[in-house]
Structure 1
Amino acid sequence: MLSARLRVMLVDDHAVVRTGYQRLLELAGDMVVVAEHADADAAYAALARSAPGEPGVDVVVLDLSMPGRSGLDLLRRAVQRWPQVRWLVFTMHDSPAMVGQALRAGADGFVTKGSEPDELVRCLRRVAAGERRVLSADVAGAIREPAAELPHLALSPREFDVLRLLVQGCALPEIATRLHLSPKTVSNLQTQIRARLGVTTAVELLRYAHQHRLIVP
């Protein structure tokens, strides 16, 4: 899979952050940023425009929280269509829920933005070389917590996306629009989420989210 230089796509909604990533990665000498996008839909569309069987990218470095579709949704949609592409999440969020959901959605690695710059470069190389479950040091133990004690870890990636937006205060019609779902589907998912987490009201749901660090801007 490896070319002379690793071809990297950056997906993050902050232009200044993308510029910083690009400089950092290209200073490493063995990688080049071939594309950058501000949202998941643009990244997916760019991959879809590539030649069949040749996406032109070795590793996608992506944030999880972006306008519109989340990084989790991009992972779900893309990993099976482009199995040769490797995926490294690079985000400010370090909760066990975020790590677990990203890995379940298909991420090959997870690095927090609080990590040292060299750690991002090292993890990117490891992911490109075919390693799985590559984690930055600050989250390496996060997914070892017993899932039975953390009911939110049993949520599907789609349920987790809905939960993420619910605790941000989004109304059901807005969630439906942002996730490209029907309002009825979102309503059903909300019911399932509350049942899985053992809560019955919006206040209880928000309290649960704060307790387990599930609030994602």
Structure 2
Amino acid sequence: MSADPTRILLVEDHAFTRDGLRAAINLEHDLRVVAEARSGEEGLEVLARTQGSAQPVDVAVLDIGLPGMDGIQTAAEMAARWPSVRLVMLTAHDLRGEVLAALASGAQAYCLKSADPDLLLLAIRAAAAGSAYLDPQVAHHVLGGIRAPNAASPLTTRETEVLRLIADGLGNKDIAQALGISVSTVKLHVQEVLLKLRAADRTQAAVQALRQGLL
């Protein structure tokens, strides 16, 4: 018997956008939109009803620019009241401050509305699995400011350099060339970064570092 699909709450004030998101998500056998809201306040009301039921919401997909209580405020409230609900932030903007605020609010994933629908599906699945996801269109813009380790950082200077180049989109071979070290040494540094930040993958490592104020 196949597993139950991931149950999703859509919080989006524009009906056209909401219809498109629902259609794209419901095409997938492992994902299902089970509730919708047009504002942050309504989204909180929906979760207050569903989370005590036999079919609780697993993932909430929120527009960052909601009327009234915006997506960041809503995400922070959801994270505080229902920590089991994973949060995916959806926005038309790639502003660094906005992205960092979204991640700080408790969101596990951040995706642009202009991105390919497959990326949103990837973000939802990553969040549902407990991983982090940052839209590749904004990863360089947001994480490219990494320059030196924070005094309290568990990362060495070299590990921070490796993480900065990962954020710039470089693979292990290019990182090795940029730093003048071997690919095997790069792999060791990446392993150490993931271990120290308790991250499952490179994107999650960058997100964890942002949340801990290490970047």
TM class by shorter chain equals 0.5 to 0.7
For 2:139, the equivalent position in structure 1 comes to: 140
> Which structure 2 residues correspond to residues 161-176 of structure 1 after superposition, within 5 A?
none
For 1:158, the equivalent position in structure 2 comes to: none
* Contact 2:51–2:57 under 8 Å retained in 1: no
Aligned counterparts of 1:121 and 1:50: Cα–Cα separation in 2: 22
The answer to whether residue 129 in structure 2 is matched with residue 129 in structure 1 is yes
> Which structure 2 residues correspond to residues 56-67 of structure 1 after superposition, within 5 A?
56-67=56-67
CA positional deviation for 1:50: 3.1
SS in 1 for 2:36: strand
Aligned counterparts of 1:45 and 1:139: Cα–Cα separation in 2: 31
Aligned counterparts of 1:124 and 1:38: Cα–Cα separation in 2: 19
For 1:192, the equivalent position in structure 2 comes to: none
For 2:97, the equivalent position in structure 1 comes to: 97
CA positional deviation for 1:53: 8.2
Closer/same/farther in 2, CA of residues 24 and 123 from structure 1, 3 Å limit = same
* Contact 2:50–2:57 under 8 Å retained in 1: no
SS in 1 for 2:130: coil
Closer/same/farther in 2, CA of residues 48 and 108 from structure 1, 3 Å limit = same
Aligned counterparts of 1:60 and 1:11: Cα–Cα separation in 2: 7
> Which structure 2 residues correspond to residues 148-163 of structure 1 after superposition, within 5 A?
none
CA positional deviation for 1:26: 0.8
Aligned counterparts of 2:27 and 2:53: Cα–Cα separation in 1: 29
> Which structure 2 residues correspond to residues 1-217 of structure 1 after superposition, within 5 A?
4-52=4-52, 56-132=56-132, 134-146=133-145
CA positional deviation for 1:122: 1.1
Aligned counterparts of 2:13 and 2:30: Cα–Cα separation in 1: 25
Give the structure-1-normalised TM-score: 0.63
Give the structure-2-normalised TM-score: 0.63
CA positional deviation for 1:97: 0.9
CA positional deviation for 1:54: 6.6
Closer/same/farther in 2, CA of residues 137 and 61 from structure 1, 3 Å limit = same
- AA aligned opposite 1:18: R
- AA aligned opposite 1:92: A
- AA aligned opposite 2:17: V
The structure that has the greater radius of gyration is 2
Aligned length: 146
SS in 2 for 1:77: helix
CA positional deviation for 1:141: 2.2
> RMSD of the TM alignment (CA)?
2.1
CA positional deviation for 1:52: 3.8
- AA aligned opposite 1:36: E
CA positional deviation for 1:30: 1.0
| Structure 2, unaligned runs of 5 or more | 148-215
Which structure has more RCO (C-alpha within 8 Å, separation ≥ 6)? Answer: 1
Closer/same/farther in 2, CA of residues 51 and 7 from structure 1, 3 Å limit = closer
* Contact 1:55–1:82 under 8 Å retained in 2: no
- AA aligned opposite 1:116: D
Percent identical residues? 34
CA positional deviation for 1:143: 2.9
